[in-house]
Amino acid sequence: MTSSNFIDYVRICCRSGKGGAGSVHFHRAKFIPKGGPDGGDGGRGGSVIVKGNKQLWTLLHLKYSKHVIAGDGQPGSGNNRTGVSGKDVVVEVPAGTVVKSAETGEMIFEITQHNETRILLEGGRGGLGNTRFKSAVNKTPRFAQPGEPGTEKWMIFELKMLADVGLVGLPNAGKSTLLSVLSAAKPKIADYPFTTLVPNLGIVPYYDNRSFAMADIPGIIEGAHEGKGLGHRFLRHIERNAALLFIIPIDTESIANEYELLLDELKQYNPELLDKEKVLAVSKCDLIDKKEISVIKKKIPEIETVFISAHENFGLNELKDCLWKKLNE
């Protein structure tokens, strides 16, 4: 996915259809000049429906749809004919999409499965025709119900990428390089911070035709939980990962301090993230003599750690074994 077509946030005005008015009508025929009431009910207004689609990976198709409007119900007519219902509008979204109220920020629901369907805004009910109000007291009612109005609200659609493993690290830690080596994904790779501007998803093959999904998000910086850097915009993608893989280069000044910084940013953003399975990968091991690894191991925090080099294919099988174990514990 390129930065131009990965859209994970859209704000849309949604409006359900209004119900049709009930009919005030009396039966008239050649030999029945004063027949009884036969006004039909109005049609139901169309609803705005959200549906999961596994073929979608982004909200790009909604980027320019600033208004989603369902059809209005038609009024009833004589001979007890009910008006035609308004046309529903189905908004298809990728699995992992959260729908919120733009006014309050409250989450309304989330779509996590293919073909999962939820009604976002229900259409207004059609009004009752005058036939419904006929009684022994009032045999010729000259009134009917108006249809219920539709509902109009601004909604926020947020995509939280679904993946088994999420890569967490500072900018230029080697996350994109690792993803490109382990999977067929082709993220942009360069020797400068914030090369990755959009999340990238790759499928990592494992033994016996098994596999798991890995997501690379833009690097985290100190203060990301407050929105600094790319902050909140991409931290939400980590919430859907079953396990977190922390990537820290072996030439960093203090692996322990950098790990604590990353943990703190996740904790400040959402403390529940710390409950996920965690693995530390010390990357770029091709920069040092392999004999020095035993010395560096003594300075590593208490977390399951794998030393790797994506450039030399060093430690990658061990890393995949470790991640598979974490995902299936």
Higher pLDDT, 160 or 38: 38
Mean pLDDT of the chain: 85
Least confident interval from 69-73, 99-103, 117-121, 173-177: 173-177
pTM: 0.67
Cβ(73)–Cβ(147) below 8 Å: yes
pLDDT of residue 170: 83
pLDDT of residue 233: 57
**Domains of the chain by range and CATH?**
1-159 (2.70.210.12), 165-328 (3.40.50.300)
pLDDT over 90 percentage in the chain: 43
Instruction: Locate 274 and state its tokens.
Output: 């710390």
Q: Does residue 196 carry a pLDDT above 70?
A: no
**Residue 117: which residues within 8 A CB-CB, separation 6 or more?**
49, 50, 51, 52
3-state SS class at 257: helix
Reported confidence tier of residue 234, pLDDT bands at 50, 70, 90 = low
Q: Does residue 46 carry a pLDDT above 90?
A: yes
d(CA 100, CA 299): 44
pLDDT in tens, 53-101: 988 878 888 988 889 999 999 999 999 999 999 999 999 998 889 999 9
Q: Does residue 5 carry a pLDDT above 70?
A: no
DSSP string, 90-123: EEEE-TTEEEEETTT--EEEEE-STT-EEEEEPP
CA distances from 326 to 212, 247, 302, 320, 321 (A): 12, 16, 16, 10, 9
Q: Does residue 304 carry a pLDDT above 60?
A: yes
Residue 70 corresponds to which amino acid? Answer: A
pLDDT over 70 percentage in the chain: 87
For tokens 């943990």, the residue is 263
